[in-house]
Structure 1
Amino acid sequence: MTTSSADWLPHGIADLEPAAWEALRAGSAIVTAGPGAGKSEFLAQRAGYLFETGICRSPQQILAISFKRSAATNLRHRVAARLPEHAHRFNSMTFDAFTKSIVDRFRGLLPKDWAIGADYSINFPSKRDIAGFLGDVADGLDRESARAVRALSPDTFLSNDVGVAQLPALPSQQQKPASASEYAVQEWWKRNYLNEESPTVDFVMLNRLADLIIRCSPRLQRALRVTYPFVFVDEFQDTTYAQYSTSRRCSVRTEQP
């Protein structure tokens, strides 16, 4: 049984502010508010509105993505407390957990040359590890190119360089690198993944592999969009390009508090 939009009421709280009501009923929304302003509560109420008015109709689900496990758990518990009959249709997880789940469930859809087994290893490279890698890459280059590679930041190499590079369906289709960043990114994949019997990945690489899986499988992309007509992204201002592009492929609408 569904409730009309005009008759729907929030759960567990007396009322919502006018701006919250407006955002709650919007087709999609960006919500800006400071710490402690109730963004998590708003998302829980938004889920209730979408489920109980039939806008997100069973068996469709809502995907909620957070940066921290504590935030994902908090939101999951809020929805379960307010909407126990719909809680199974609310999937709240971190960006890393979501992209890993795509790779683990659908790795068989990866193009052959990017194939990965279930026994892959996850690495957590430190700033020192990345600096060492960049230095090693630079050592084999001419002076100008080496200087450009060494100028790359170990702090942002994964998020700003590896994370924005879209993998081609075939490694052989990669274009000749036009910058130090592109060269270093290609070397990162070669040394950690492509030339290894047991690939080692970090979570940015997992994100790029998940993105490739979805891009290479229109059927999977359609299935994800049908399953998740709404995606909630918590702390959107901190979202990296890789995280946003992958979550965007999964849904027509993306909520951004």
Structure 2
Amino acid sequence: MPLDLTKLNKEQRVAVVHGKGPLLIVAGAGTGKTTVITQRIVYLIEKGETKPEEILAVTFTEKAAAEMEERVDVLLPYGYVDLWISTFHSFCERILRDYALDIGLPADFKILDNTAGWLLVYRNLDKFDLNYYKPLGNPTKFIQALISHFSHCKDQGIYPEDYLEYAEKLKTRDDMPEDDETERIKEVAGAFHTYQRLLLENSSLDFGDLINYCLKLFQKRQLILKKYREKFKYILVDEFQDTNWAQYELIKILAESKNNLTVCADDDQAIYRWRGASFSNIIQFKKDFPKAKQISLVKNYRSCQNILDLAYKFIKANDPDRLEYVNKISKKLFAKEKGRGIIEHISAKSLEEEVNKTIKKILEILKKDKDADYNDFAILVRANDAANPFIKALERTGLPYQFLASKGLYSKPVVLDVISYFKLLDNYHESPAVYRILNMPFLEIPPQDIMKLTQYSYKRTKSLYESMEELPLIPGISSKTQEKIVSVLSLIKNHTIF
């Protein structure tokens, strides 16, 4: 499909057809930044400026990378299969798989997520010289906090040897008494060193290592760096505001000396500041590339003007820690959509009241608007745990939902279901586990039948499992539910025969 630039607005078109040299695209929410990046990739290929395999495009999530790749694939003719579109971590893993031995890493390294990292430390806790971070009552209390701290260090390019050197300097300074704080820092530095040694001994890397070792590879092996500098004639970075120090250094060293680097950023949409990302990278980009062309995308295709105006009023409260304030540019968005959006503030005196009013509002809209669908609603919360009251209310009301938060493995409902079943097999009297099993959706046991079962259990001071075995004695339970419970009992007995 040939590229049609007439559908783009003026600013988008200028960004797409930009020639060589650094380019900073400041793109507000809903201004079509992904469209600009994908069409810029296609434009560079169609105009013969470069080959598909000579373009590197990186973003932050697998979903965003897949979406970008899909859009480019639709716009390009068949046969363009060598595009490098991926996340930062996937890109670095691909490089390290080929050149791990050149930097002293095992070629068959494993990648550990947070849970696997925690287990590695837990199993080797005796190898850590911990005092402050190993309380007697709960020796594993601070493992996750330590791993998170090590991850932050790696995001900023701080290695264990740097931390140890810093701790030693504190120890030897005449004006720094060797107090508890100094000892604590020395303990953390030693733990960081031990953790990194354990990773390497187990042929493992964490996500921070992927970026840092790839950066080290390019810094120490100039021939490899030269190969990839020559290979990638154009580099594009989406969500640049979410890059940390190490990621920016990696991109910067790759882009030299052609500096055909396009970054798309909006500090107001930064979501990884907790992980070391900082809008200062955008400021630093302007300093590193003073001749960079800057284009602001401010035409919004998603919302009505009154919604944009209210959002802008709120985000201005973050001044002076915003690019708009620092660079003296305007990021105020202008709606292409006509009309006014409905903004309503629901006031409640308690969390329970807030949840009930929210669910009531959803039901009210569904009843009023016949074209509305469940997919038209989204409930946003500040943290994963804050969603729990809404989830319970949705379940009580019978409203279908999807919880899309990136939760830990052991918090996922399907894993909790499996764990509950294992607990039940280990101990038939584990009533909370039985209750969770009975509420599993595929069984379709009505809540009123489960209520009768729990009431019988409470009155007879029996476990739920024992009550299930006395099912014929419990009045009012439907025949369908009885069949399902008999089936569950049969499964339990079959799975406990060793």
For residues 53-86 of structure 1, the C-alpha deviation after alignment (integer angstroms, 9 at most, x for no partner) is 3332x47611111111111111111111112257
Identify the residue that residue 423 of structure 2 maps to in structure 1: none
2:87 paired with 1:94: yes
Question: How far is the alpha carbon of 1:182 from its aligned partner?
Answer: 8.8
Of 195, 208, 214, the match for 2:218: 214
Q: TM-score, normalised by structure 1?
A: 0.73
CA distance, structure 2, for counterparts of residue 42 and residue 166 of structure 1: 35
Identify the residue that residue 244 of structure 1 maps to in structure 2: 248
CA distance, structure 1, for counterparts of residue 130 and residue 188 of structure 2: 9
3-state secondary structure, aligned to 1:250: helix
2:99 paired with 1:106: yes
Of 110, 124, 136, the match for 2:113: 124
Identify the residue that residue 233 of structure 2 maps to in structure 1: 229
2:31 paired with 1:37: yes
Distance change (3 Å), C-alpha of 1:154 and 1:167:
closer
Question: How far is the alpha carbon of 1:124 from its aligned partner?
Answer: 1.5
Question: How far is the alpha carbon of 1:256 from its aligned partner?
Answer: 1.0
CA distance, structure 1, for counterparts of residue 152 and residue 33 of structure 2: 28
CA distance, structure 2, for counterparts of residue 212 and residue 186 of structure 1: 22
CA distance, structure 1, for counterparts of residue 250 and residue 236 of structure 2: 13
Identify the residue that residue 152 of structure 2 maps to in structure 1: 160
Would you say the 8 A contact 2:65–2:86 is kept in 1?
yes
Of 6, 11, 14, the match for 1:22: 14
Identify the residue that residue 41 of structure 2 maps to in structure 1: 47
CA distance, structure 1, for counterparts of residue 191 and residue 253 of structure 2: 27
Match for 1:234: what amino acid? D
Distance change (3 Å), C-alpha of 1:213 and 1:96:
same
CA distance, structure 2, for counterparts of residue 175 and residue 245 of structure 1: 23
Larger RCO (alpha carbons 8 Å, 6+ apart): 1
Would you say the 8 A contact 1:167–1:212 is kept in 2?
no
Of 159, 163, 166, the match for 1:177: 166
3-state secondary structure, aligned to 2:236: strand
Q: Which protein shows a greater Rg?
A: 2
Of 191, 194, 198, the match for 2:195: 191
CA distance, structure 2, for counterparts of residue 248 and residue 212 of structure 1: 13
Q: Bigger shift: 20-29 or 173-182? A: 173-182
CA distance, structure 2, for counterparts of residue 248 and residue 70 of structure 1: 24
CA distance, structure 1, for counterparts of residue 12 and residue 96 of structure 2: 36
Gaps of 5+ in 2: 134-141, 171-183, 265-498
For residues 19-64 of structure 1, the C-alpha deviation after alignment (integer angstroms, 9 at most, x for no partner) is 12222315322222233321111111111222223332x4761111
Distance change (3 Å), C-alpha of 1:31 and 1:244:
same
Q: Bigger shift: 71-80 or 15-24? A: 15-24
Identify the residue that residue 146 of structure 1 maps to in structure 2: none
RMSD between aligned alpha carbons?
Answer: 3.6
Match for 1:14: what amino acid? T
3-state secondary structure, aligned to 2:114: coil
Would you say the 8 A contact 1:159–1:204 is kept in 2?
yes
2:70 paired with 1:77: yes
Q: How many residues align?
A: 229
CA distance, structure 2, for counterparts of residue 18 and residue 182 of structure 1: 56
Q: Bigger shift: 95-104 or 32-41? A: 32-41
Point out the structure with the larger helix share.
Answer: 2
Identify the residue that residue 65 of structure 1 maps to in structure 2: 58
3-state secondary structure, aligned to 1:231: strand
CA distance, structure 2, for counterparts of residue 186 and residue 65 of structure 1: 34
Question: How far is the alpha carbon of 1:117 from its aligned partner?
Answer: 1.6
Would you say the 8 A contact 2:113–2:206 is kept in 1?
yes
Identify the residue that residue 147 of structure 1 maps to in structure 2: none
Gaps of 5+ in 1: 1-9, 142-149
